[in-house]
């Protein structure tokens, strides 16, 4: 998760346990937009076997079901599932097991992915293959509820939501850029997975093209600093939202706060 950054540095940001593993969130976002209830990413789900989960040590009681229930909603109320990309920790919760069948977890939702990214996911390279699990991806297509976008960077998906396209982490990852009461909220997905990754050299070893990630951060973070964007952290276990500022020629974290403080 920390790429070439030495452990002596990243240990301060996210201490490792005795197995040299760090704790991370899989924080999804619900956007209520008129009659639409849009879920951005779905976490890893729970349909894999014990061997699979033995590699990741999932813990805690948070779940999409509990989060929706707290708002008096259920999976059936979701109209759109927007997937930033199809790595298992971002789309696994979109599909569930029903006996021997694999079916959508959100029965009334349309699934949205990027056409270029979809092709990369169903014909993966050897390095990325372990992150693209067919049981997460192909049932979306067979359900007949999959729609593929061909948006370019900065184009509008629906009113008040533009999509930023990045290529460093994986092919055509989509970051929703949301106009929320005049404030820009960027769902950062794996471009900036945690507050520590605001630092330019802090690039994950998972990224397919690390230098592209670096250049994408150089392009987006100064804009976020200038316009006081809210950066929504999908993987930071402690920090939900971050703002950034320019300081002595560097982009640094200015503030952190929970998403509810925007209400």
Average pLDDT over residues 11-27: 92
pLDDT at position 97, please? 95
Q: What percent of the chain has pLDDT over 90?
A: 92
Q: How many CB atoms lie within 10 A of CB 109?
A: 23
Instruction: Single out the residue of 38, 47, 25, 193 nearest to residue 133, CA to CA.
Output: 47
pLDDT greater than 90 at residue 248: yes
Instruction: Single out the residue of 58, 85, 256 nearest to residue 164, CA to CA.
Output: 85
One-character DSSP codes across 88-126:
HHHHGGGEEEETTEEEESSTTPEEEEEHHHHHHHHS--T
**Residue that has been written with the tokens 């964007």 in this structure:** 229
pLDDT greater than 80 at residue 256: yes
* Assigned architecture for domain 25-150: 4-Layer Sandwich (3.60)
Instruction: Single out the residue of 163, 239, 185, 151 nearest to residue 29, CA to CA.
Output: 185
Query: What mean pLDDT value characterizes the chain?
Result: 96
pLDDT in tens, 186-235: 999 999 999 999 999 999 999 999 999 999 999 999 999 999 999 999 99
pLDDT at position 263, please? 72
pLDDT at position 217, please? 98
pLDDT in tens, 44-81: 999 988 888 888 888 888 999 999 999 999 999 999 99
Pinpoint the residues of the chain covered by CATH 3.60.15.10: 25-150, 151-263
pLDDT at position 55, please? 84
**d(C-alpha 223, C-alpha 228), whole Å:** 8
Give the model's confidence band at 185: pLDDT under 50 very low, under 70 low, under 90 confident, else very high: very high
pLDDT at position 77, please? 98
pLDDT at position 54, please? 83
pLDDT greater than 80 at residue 139: yes
Pick the CATH number of 151-263 from 3.40.50.970, 3.90.79.10, 1.20.1090.10, 3.60.15.10: 3.60.15.10
**d(C-alpha 189, C-alpha 40), whole Å:** 10
pLDDT in tens, 89-102: 999 999 999 999 99
Cβ-count burial 150-165 (b if 16+ within 10 Å, e if not):
ebebeeebeeebbbbb
pLDDT at position 57, please? 81
pLDDT at position 193, please? 98
């Amino acid at each position: 998760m920390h790429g070439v950054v030495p452990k002596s540095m990243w240990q301060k940001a996210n201490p490792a346990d005795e197995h040299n593993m760090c704790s991370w969130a899989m924080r999804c976002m619900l956007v209520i937009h008129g009659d639409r209830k849009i879920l951005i990413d779905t976490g890893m789900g729970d349909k894999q076997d014990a061997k699979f989960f033995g590699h990741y040590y999932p813990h805690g009681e948070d779940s999409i079901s509990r989060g929706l229930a707290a708002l008096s909603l259920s999976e059936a109320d979701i109209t759109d599932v927007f997937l930033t990309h199809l790595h298992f920790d971002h789309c696994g919760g979109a599909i569930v097991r029903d006996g021997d069948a694999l079916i959508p977890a959100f029965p009334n939702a349309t699934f949205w992915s990027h056409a270029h990214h979809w092709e990369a996911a169903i014909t993966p390279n050897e390095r990325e293959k372990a992150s693209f699990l067919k049981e997460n991806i192909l049932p979306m297509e067979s359900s007949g509820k999959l729609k593929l976008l061909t948006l370019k960077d900065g184009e509008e998906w629906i009113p008040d939501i533009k999509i930023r396209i990045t290529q460093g982490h994986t092919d055509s990852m989509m970051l929703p850029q949301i106009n929320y009461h005049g404030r820009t909220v960027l769902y950062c997905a794996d471009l900036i997975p945690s507050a520590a990754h605001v630092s330019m050299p802090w690039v994950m070893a998972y990224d397919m093209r690390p230098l592209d990630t670096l250049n994408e951060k150089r392009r987006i973070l100064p804009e976020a600093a200038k316009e006081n964007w809210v950066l929504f952290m999908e993987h930071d276990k402690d920090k939900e939202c971050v703002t950034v500022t320019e300081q002595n020629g560097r982009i640094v974290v200015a503030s952190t706060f929970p998403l509810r403080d925007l209400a």
